[in-house]
């Protein structure tokens, strides 16, 4: 690993470390009930409310902690769906080729050509809003890009001599795919998972900002941004802190993926 | 002598820009037990396609008869690093053919792996290492050991020493001599280097544009070539390797 | 005075904490019309030596010491623009893979003319004439057609001939060939070797021939340097080294040549 990559790795680890700390913290303890409104409290930053309070008097720090959790759950689940089905589709099409490839990749292209926000809107329109629908919608939208990456990698690997020689030993397709091809996808998967996670965080924030996704009054980073918009001049802190948290998340994961890419 | 392989009228047809094109054309030959046959020819002459057809990797466009009189033949490839799975340890790679074949206990497999390692002159310490930590020569030894695991009667070696350094090359050639003798193995040895073929093989086939233009005993072929192309090849080798004043 | 004199050439690469010595204390001389080989396996430093003489090594991340004196000028510490002039007019290089050393988007003729375009002020027609002459000189049939074709339309042997034409068009005093035949078919290899011999004989161009193939060097060169791990193991006349090798490594190299009916 070159020195440049090492720096990226360290900063990336620190930033994602902060995010994970917030996540853990948010699961077990928040200073205040993130949903409790208190009109009497001062909205500015104080020792009691280190990130201040929003227009309803809810503690922003508590809401950010829980928001991180919500965002991570959605992004994690979306990436999981995308990677799992993307790998299945990518391996099948790349390995077998022929009509399987034709059908699945055309389908893939169709989904890819469709803007993911529109697709998500469609799914949400069909099944109603809420976290689970959002995960499903974004998950489906994320499959094609993973499938493409995995497919091109499998195409490359399946023609290498070591796969040919295992085939000569008499190994079946399943064994060749699972034992011999999949382990070699590790590096490419890791970096695409990290990039995908970033995109998922942004997509979640975007969808929540638009009002689809996590239902109010539950906090999510995107929804907090959207709610704070109206008060941006009177109470800017309610927008700044969720924003900074998103930036830390994205930056951390992109640095990690950049550092692992050329390992 | 027993025949190991008999190929009759083998052709492989590809479609290139919608025009049919024969990568291999009407090839007939046979390999006897314990015999080493050299297959020489220049790039694009169809050597590799022929070997892939014999192995059954190439199925499309193949016509003619390939009769195997033994279990499936095995192959050793040109690029030793590329023929080992980079994600697996040497131990795993060597055990894999036995696992696929089945019918052996873990201990039996382990014993067989150690036996093969000894045959190809590699130390046991390599078992836990990844291919990327081995030298080219060591990788090629592992490839040979893996190919021999299922005890094939016929081994096809496609330019197995071309990617190696000269001194390593001669060690691998010695290893081929050794396994040939000890295992009574038949080998089809593909190379563009006429010197390597002469030093290792009993019989030689010369291939050009998909056809075998001449085949025969190596002494006859090298010293009394009949076909124009064989003569040309021998002449070129002489210009390259014999000093003229 | 000899044309090229390499003295105590060392090339080191600094990779953060460790220093790798790629070439150590290489000494040799070449005169006009000499034809000399450098033989070694991968990692021997033979290509590095050649690149250093051709002035193609980057100046930043490598430490070079010693002298490479070409016609009285030390190539290691002259200014870049002077070096460029020498490179164009006096020293040329031919590489192993002719497909990679030609630009796929430009016509062959254009590329053969390139060094004329840089180093002289000839007009188009003059350059064209010279290029076609150079292509004819490397025994390419129908040089006018080759002039107008793209690299992918030529066979490997033709491309390598075109490369040699491009290297020879400015009539250099020294031609460095880095494994020029390795990627080619046997019959083509023999032709390229013959061509190099002829160029050397007729033009008195000195040739530095880098190869891993000791017997090939023996047929082509008068003198040879055997290198291993950046060190010169043995040097001298080919005949002497072949018949009476002194160094252990040279003996090993000679023993490694496959037994063949072609003499050695």
Concatenated DSSP letters for C106-150? Answer: S-HHHHHHHHHHHH----HHHHHHHHHHHHHHTT-SSHHHHHTS-
Helix, coil or strand: residue B163: coil
CA distance B15 to B11: 13
Q: B82 vs A180: CB contact, 8 Å cut-off? A: no
Q: Which residues contact C82 (CB under 8 A, 6 or more apart)?
A: C73
| Least Cα separation, residue A166 to chain B (angstroms) | 7
Q: A169 vs B150: CB contact, 8 Å cut-off? A: yes
CA distance C264 to C259: 7
Q: Is the pLDDT of residue C61 over 80?
A: no
**Which of C175, C247, C260, C246 has the alpha carbon at shortest distance from C215?**
C260
pLDDT tens-digit readout, A251-263: 988 888 888 765 4
CA dihedral A114→A120→A126→A131, nearest 10 degrees, is: 160
Q: Which residues contact A133 (CB under 8 A, 6 or more apart)?
A: A123, A124, A127
| Least Cα separation, residue C217 to chain B (angstroms) | 9
H helices of B120-227, in order, are 136-148, 166-183, 194-200, 218-223
CA distance A121 to A115: 10
What is the rounded average pLDDT of the residues C158-180? Answer: 89
**Strand B19-32's sheet: what is its strand order?**
B19-32, B3-16, B62-68
Interface predicted TM-score (ipTM) over 0.90? no
Helix, coil or strand: residue B123: coil
Q: B87 vs A183: CB contact, 8 Å cut-off? A: yes
> Which range in A123-127, B236-240, C196-200 is most confidently predicted, on average pLDDT?
C196-200
Which of C97, C262, C264 is best to mutate for the B interface (most B CBs within 10 A)?
Answer: C262
Q: C190 vs B196: CB contact, 8 Å cut-off? A: no
Beta-sheet pairing, C223-228 with C231-237: antiparallel
Q: Is residue B78 part of a domain?
A: no
pLDDT tens-digit readout, A204-219: 888 877 777 776 667 7
What pLDDT is recorded for position B38? 93
CB B161 within 8 A of CB B172: yes
Q: Which residues contact B158 (CB under 8 A, 6 or more apart)?
A: B47, B48, B51, B75, B76, B77, B78, B190
What pLDDT is recorded for position B115? 93
In chain C, residues with a C-beta closer than 8 Å to the C-beta of B240 are: 186, 189-190, 193, 215-216, 219
A180 and chain B in contact, CB less than 8 A: yes
Q: Of B131, B151, B171, which residue sits at a domain end?
A: B151
Considering only the beta carbons, identify the residue of B166, B173, B237 that sits closest to C262: B237
Considering only the beta carbons, identify the residue of A161, A162, A169 that sits closest to B100: A169
Angle, CA B215 vertex, CA B210 and CA B216 arms, to 5°: 170
Q: Which residues contact A221 (CB under 8 A, 6 or more apart)?
A: A64, A67, A68, A70, A71, A204, A205, A208, A242, A245, A246
Better pLDDT: A30 or C246? C246
Q: Of B99, B117, B151, which residue sits at a domain end?
A: B151
Task: Tell the burial category of A12 from Cβ atoms under 10 Å away from its Cβ (0-12, 13-18, 19+).
Answer: buried
Considering only the beta carbons, identify the residue of B79, B82, B85 that sits closest to A180: B85
Query: Residue B218 maps to which CATH number?
Result: 3.40.50.300
Considering only the beta carbons, identify the residue of A162, A167, A168 that sits closest to B85: A162
Considering only the beta carbons, identify the residue of B173, B198, B241 that sits closest to C263: B241
Helix, coil or strand: residue A177: helix
Range of the structural domain that residue B104 is part of:
85-151
H helices of A159-236, in order, are 161-168, 173-175, 186-209, 221-228
Q: Is residue B175 part of a domain?
A: yes
B162 and chain C in contact, CB less than 8 A: no
**Which of B7, B4, B1 has the alpha carbon at shortest distance from B215?**
B7
pLDDT per residue rounded down to tens, chain B (245 residues): 688 899 999 999 887 777 788 888 899 999 998 899 999 988 878 888 898 899 888 888 888 888 888 878 899 988 888 889 999 999 999 999 999 988 889 999 999 999 999 999 999 999 999 999 999 899 999 999 999 999 999 999 998 988 888 889 999 999 999 999 899 899 999 998 888 899 899 999 999 988 999 999 988 888 888 999 999 888 888 887 777 65
CB B165 within 8 A of CB C212: yes
* Phi, psi for residue B84 in degrees, rounded to 5: -120, 130
B233 and chain C in contact, CB less than 8 A: yes
Neighbors of chain C with 3 or more C-beta pairs under 8 Å:
B
B74 and chain A in contact, CB less than 8 A: yes
Give me chain C's average pLDDT, please. 86
CA distance C25 to C45: 11
Query: Do B235 and B175 belong to one domain?
Result: yes
CA distance A14 to B237: 63
Query: Do B69 and B158 belong to one domain?
Result: yes
Report the predicted TM-score, pTM, of the whole model to 2 decimal places. 0.81
Give the least confident one: B126-130, C120-124, C247-251: C120-124
Q: Is the pLDDT of residue A1 over 60?
A: no
What pLDDT is recorded for position A39? 66
Query: Do B216 and B131 belong to one domain?
Result: no
CB B31 within 8 A of CB B4: yes
CB C45 within 8 A of CB C212: no
Please give the CATH topology (third level) of the domain spanning C1-90+174-264. Rossmann fold (3.40.50)
Which of B85, B131, B160 is best to mutate for the A interface (most A CBs within 10 A)?
Answer: B85
| Least Cα separation, residue B196 to chain A (angstroms) | 23
In chain A, residues with a C-beta closer than 8 Å to the C-beta of B143 are: 165
Which of B135, B234, B239, B245 is best to mutate for the C interface (most C CBs within 10 A)?
Answer: B239
What pLDDT is recorded for position B122? 93
Q: Is residue B135 part of a domain?
A: yes
CA distance A182 to B15: 32
First to last CA, chain A: 6
CATH number of the domain located at residue range(s) A3-15+51-261 in this protein: 1.10.3720.10
CB atoms within 10 A of CB B131: 23
Q: Of B121, B151, B181, which residue sits at a domain end?
A: B151
| Least Cα separation, residue C114 to chain B (angstroms) | 31
Q: Is residue B102 part of a domain?
A: yes
In chain B, residues with a C-beta closer than 8 Å to the C-beta of A160 are: 82-83
Q: Which residues of B76-112 are buried (b: 16+ CB within 10 A; e: fewer)?
A: bbbbbbbbbbebbbbbbbbbbbbbbbeeeeeeebbeb
Task: Tell the burial category of C25 from Cβ atoms under 10 Å away from its Cβ (0-12, 13-18, 19+).
Answer: middle
Query: Do B8 and B47 belong to one domain?
Result: yes
Query: Do B56 and B133 belong to one domain?
Result: no
Task: Tell the burial category of B19 from Cβ atoms under 10 Å away from its Cβ (0-12, 13-18, 19+).
Answer: exposed
- Please report which confidence band the pLDDT of residue A195 belongs to, taking 50, 70 and 90 as the band edges: confident
Q: B232 vs C187: CB contact, 8 Å cut-off? A: yes
In chain A, residues with a C-beta closer than 8 Å to the C-beta of B101 are: 169-170
Q: Is residue B178 part of a domain?
A: yes
Q: Is residue B80 part of a domain?
A: no
Tokens of C13: 């690469």
CA distance B74 to B116: 15
Report the length, in residues, of chain B: 245
Considering only the beta carbons, identify the residue of C42, C189, C258 that sits closest to B240: C189
Better pLDDT: A26 or C90? C90
What is the Cβ-side half-sphere exposure of residue B148, based on CA atoms within 13 angstroms?
A: 26
Give the C-alpha distances (Å, rounded to integers) separating C253 from A223, B146, B153, B167, C261.
73, 29, 33, 6, 18
In chain B, residues with a C-beta closer than 8 Å to the C-beta of C185 are: 42-43, 192
Give the C-alpha distances (Å, rounded to integers) separating C152 from B204, C141, C186.
33, 17, 20
Q: Is residue B79 part of a domain?
A: no
In chain B, residues with a C-beta closer than 8 Å to the C-beta of C218 are: 241, 243
CB B60 within 8 A of CB A155: no
Give me chain A's average pLDDT, please. 83
Do you find a cis peptide bond into A217, omega within 30 degrees of 0? yes
- Please report which confidence band the pLDDT of residue A154 belongs to, taking 50, 70 and 90 as the band edges: very high
In chain C, residues with a C-beta closer than 8 Å to the C-beta of B223 are: 261
- Please report which confidence band the pLDDT of residue C225 belongs to, taking 50, 70 and 90 as the band edges: very high
**Which of A238, A231, A235, A245 has the alpha carbon at shortest distance from A70?**
A245
C185 and chain B in contact, CB less than 8 A: yes
CA distance A49 to A33: 12
Query: Do B138 and B165 belong to one domain?
Result: no
What pLDDT is recorded for position B88? 92
Enumerate the domain spans of chain A: 3-15+51-261
Query: Do B144 and B229 belong to one domain?
Result: no
| Least Cα separation, residue B25 to chain C (angstroms) | 21
Q: Is the pLDDT of residue C260 over 80?
A: no
Residue A178 DSSP symbol: I
Which of B80, B86, B100 is best to mutate for the A interface (most A CBs within 10 A)?
Answer: B100
Q: C212 vs B195: CB contact, 8 Å cut-off? A: no
In chain B, residues with a C-beta closer than 8 Å to the C-beta of A177 are: none
CA distance C171 to C168: 5
Q: Is residue B108 part of a domain?
A: yes
What pLDDT is recorded for position A263? 47
| Least Cα separation, residue B235 to chain A (angstroms) | 34
In chain A, residues with a C-beta closer than 8 Å to the C-beta of B55 are: 168
Percent of chain A with pLDDT over 70: 90
Enumerate the domain spans of chain C: 1-90+174-264, 102-171
């Amino acid at each position: 690993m070159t020195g440049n990559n090492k720096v990226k790795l360290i900063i990336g680890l620190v930033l994602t470390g902060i995010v994970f700390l917030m996540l853990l913290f948010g699961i077990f303890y928040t200073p205040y009930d993130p949903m409790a409104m208190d009109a009497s409290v001062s909205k500015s930053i104080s020792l009691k409310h280190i990130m201040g309070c929003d227009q309803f008097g809810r503690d922003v720090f508590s809401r950010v902690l829980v928001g991180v959790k919500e965002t991570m759950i959605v992004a994690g689940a979306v990436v999981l769906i995308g990677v799992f089905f993307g790998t299945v589709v990518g391996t099948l099409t790349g390995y077998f080729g022929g009509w399987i490839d034709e059908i699945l990749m055309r389908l893939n292209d169709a989904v890819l050509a469709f803007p993911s926000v529109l697709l998500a809107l469609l799914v949400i329109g069909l099944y109603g809003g809420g976290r689970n629908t959002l995960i499903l919608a974004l998950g489906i939208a994320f499959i094609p890009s993973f499938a493409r990456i995995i497919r091109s990698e499998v195409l490359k690997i399946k023609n290498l001599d070591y796969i040919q020689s295992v085939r000569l030993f008499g190994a079946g397709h399943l064994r060749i795919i699972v034992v011999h091809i999949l382990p070699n996808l590790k590096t490419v998967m890791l970096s695409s998972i990290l990039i995908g996670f970033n995109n998922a965080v942004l997509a979640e924030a975007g969808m929540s900002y638009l009002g689809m996704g996590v239902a109010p009054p539950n906090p999510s980073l995107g929804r907090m941004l959207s709610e704070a918009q109206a008060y941006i001049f009177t109470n800017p802190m309610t927008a700044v802190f969720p924003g900074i948290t998103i930036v830390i998340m994205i930056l951390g994961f992109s640095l990690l993926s950049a550092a692992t890419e050329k390992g | 002598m027993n025949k190991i392989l008999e190929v009759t009228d083998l052709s492989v047809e590809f479609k290139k820009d919608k025009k049919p094109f024969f990568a291999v054309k009407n090839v007939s030959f046979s390999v006897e037990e314990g015999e080493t046959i050299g297959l020489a020819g220049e790039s694009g002459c169809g050597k590799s396609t022929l070997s892939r057809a014999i192995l059954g990797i190439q199925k499309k466009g193949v016509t003619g008869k390939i009769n195997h009189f033994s279990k499936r033949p095995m192959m050793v490839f040109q690029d030793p690093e590329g023929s080992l799975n980079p994600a697996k340890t040497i131990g795993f790679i060597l055990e894999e053919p036995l696992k696929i074949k089945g019918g052996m206990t873990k201990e039996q497999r382990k014993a067989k792996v150690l036996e093969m390692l000894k045959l190809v002159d590699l130390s046991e310490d390599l078992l836990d290492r990844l291919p990327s930590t081995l030298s080219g020569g060591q990788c090629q030894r592992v490839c040979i050991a893996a190919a021999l695991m299922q005890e094939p009667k016929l081994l096809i070696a496609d330019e197995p020493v071309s990617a190696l350094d000269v001194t390593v090359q001669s060690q691998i050639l010695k290893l081929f001599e050794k396994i040939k003798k000890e295992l009574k193995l038949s080998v089809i040895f593909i190379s563009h280097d006429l010197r390597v073929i002469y030093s290792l093989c009993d019989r030689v086939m010369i291939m050009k544009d998909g056809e075998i233009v001449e085949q025969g005993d190596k002494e006859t072929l090298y010293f009394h070539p009949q076909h124009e192309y064989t003569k040309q090849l021998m002449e070129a080798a002489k210009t390259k390797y014999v000093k003229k004043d | 005075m000899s044309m090229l004199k390499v003295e105590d050439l060392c090339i080191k690469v600094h990779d953060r904490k460790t220093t790798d010595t790629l070439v150590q204390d290489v000494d040799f001389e070449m005169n006009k019309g000499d034809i000399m080989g450098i033989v070694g396996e991968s990692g021997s430093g033979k290509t590095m030596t050649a690149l250093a003489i051709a002035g193609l090594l980057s100046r930043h991340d490598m430490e070079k010491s010693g002298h490479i004196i070409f016609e009285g000028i030390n190539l290691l510490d002259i200014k870049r623009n002077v070096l460029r002039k020498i490179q164009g007019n006096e020293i040329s290089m031919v590489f192993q893979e002719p497909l990679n050393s030609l630009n796929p988007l430009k016509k062959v003729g254009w590329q053969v003319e390139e060094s004329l375009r840089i180093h002289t002020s000839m007009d188009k027609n003059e350059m064209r004439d010279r290029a076609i002459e150079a292509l004819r000189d490397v025994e390419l049939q129908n040089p006018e057609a080759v002039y107008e074709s793209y690299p992918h339309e030529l066979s490997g042997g033709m491309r390598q001939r075109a490369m040699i034409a491009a290297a020879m068009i400015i009539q250099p005093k020294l031609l460095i060939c880095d494994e020029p035949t390795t990627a080619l078919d046997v019959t083509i290899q023999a032709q390229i070797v013959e061509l190099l011999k002829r160029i050397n004989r007729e033009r008195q161009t000195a040739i530095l021939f880098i190869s891993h193939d000791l017997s090939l060097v023996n047929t082509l060169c008068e003198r040879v340097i055997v290198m291993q791990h950046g060190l010169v193991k043995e040097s001298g006349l080919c005949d002497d080294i072949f018949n009476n090798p002194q160094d252990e490594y040279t003996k090993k190299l000679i023993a490694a040549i496959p037994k063949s009916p072609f003499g050695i």
